[in-house]
Structure formats: C-alpha cells, structure tokens
C-alpha cells in the first residue's frame, strides 16, 4: 500500500480567499480590499458581521464552491508527491454536501472519493483523528492549530506559512515551509528514510 499524504484544501491547494473576496465584491456591489493578514475573512476584509453573513449566504447560494481556483503550485506539488509514491487525499472543513463542488474546483487533481469534508465546525482534533484513521504519513495545512494537533500522530506534519496574524506557534516536530513546492521535497526525504530503515 502506498503511503498516504493528506493536503488541506483552502489556503493550501485552493485560493479560497480570492474566490470569497470576489463573491463579496459581487454581493456587496463594491470592491473588497484586504486590510489585514488575519485568517478570519470578516477581519481580513474589514466587513461588518451582517456583510459577512450576506457573503457566506451568496457563496453557498451561487455555487461558488465549484469556482474556487487552485493556487499556481497546486498541480505540481500534488503530482510530485504522487510521483514519489504517495496516495493523495484531501481534508476540508466544509459540509459534505460540497464534496462534489470541491472536486470540481480541483479540476480532477484529487477525486471526490478522496476528499474528506469534516463540516464547518470541525476542530483540529477532528482533523487529527481523520489523519490517524487514514494512517497518513504526512499532512500539510496553512493553520498551525491543525498541524500542531497532528504532531505525534503522523510522521511529517507540515505548516505552509501564509503569514496569518494571530496564529499559534508551530509545535516542536512541525516542519514549516513558505512555498507549497517545498512539500514534495519533505515527502521525498521522508520516503527515502523509510525505505533505508
């Protein structure tokens, strides 16, 4: 069996923030500007709670989940990890009704049967439990809380540093990268070490 490697979707493979901001501009009828590096979208784009609610409603109503573009490096990163011998999975904190839309956004990069939708209120520990159930060897996410929860459960917890304000510090044992194309290098090293052991 090939080792399992798990990618987070939004912020790692998919540029969710750009799609959400575009939806916000359409729904609110004005340009939306990033005003901070906060992870929280309401804070990042300086929206009121009411405006944020309207945007989320429109995002779901108008099937924006199908239109979230991939980051430029997504295809190369996934293909390189796959070429190293891994079985690729994805995990995301959206409701299961959007699994097909997530697969459409990925354009065939990861089939819907390998996309696990945890629900919008899932915690980092839910995510870590999925990694454990899959017996994943490696995991990359853009939120330190999710990666930290995977320490001790998987061999290679990796944080893709996106510069979000207010994140917790990476735990001991977390590898931090600032470019998704560095992830396949981490995986290749892990697999080489496993083969030589």
2 or 21, higher pLDDT:
21
Q: What is the mean pLDDT of residues 26-45?
A: 94
CATH number for the region 4-15+68-196 comes to 3.40.50.1000
Read off the pLDDT of residues 64-78 as tens digits, 9 standing for 90 and up: 999 999 999 999 999
Name the β-bridge partners of 10.
14
- Nearest-angstrom CA–CA distance, 81 and 89: 11
Edge-to-edge order in the sheet of strand 87-92: 115-117, 87-92, 4-8, 138-141, 156-160, 175-177
Count of other CB atoms within 10 angstroms of residue 133: 9
Read off the pLDDT of residues 163-194 as tens digits, 9 standing for 90 and up: 999 889 999 999 999 999 999 999 888 777 76
| Cα–Cα–Cα angle for 149, 154, 156, rounded to 5 degrees | 95
């Amino acid at each position: 069996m090939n080792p399992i490697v798990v990618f987070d979707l939004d912020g790692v493979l998919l540029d969710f923030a750009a799609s959400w901001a575009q939806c916000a501009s359409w729904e609110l009828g004005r340009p939306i500007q990033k005003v901070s590096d906060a992870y929280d979208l309401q804070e990042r784009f300086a929206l009121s709670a009411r405006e944020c609610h309207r945007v989320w409603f429109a995002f779901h109503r108008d099937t924006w989940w199908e239109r979230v573009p991939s980051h430029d490096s997504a295809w190369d990163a996934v293909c390189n990890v796959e070429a190293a011998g891994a079985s690729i999975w994805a995990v995301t904190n959206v409701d299961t009704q959007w699994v097909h839309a997530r697969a459409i956004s990925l354009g065939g990069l990861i089939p819907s049967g390998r996309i696990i939708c945890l629900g919008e209120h899932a915690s980092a520990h839910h995510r870590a439990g999925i990694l454990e159930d899959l017996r994943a060897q490696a995991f990359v996410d853009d939120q330190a809380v999710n990666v930290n929860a995977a320490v001790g459960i998987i061999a290679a917890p990796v944080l893709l540093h996106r510069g979000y304000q207010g994140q917790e510090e990476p735990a001991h044992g977390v590898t931090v990268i600032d470019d998704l194309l560095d992830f396949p290098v981490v995986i290749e090293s892990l697999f080489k070490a496993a083969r030589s052991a």
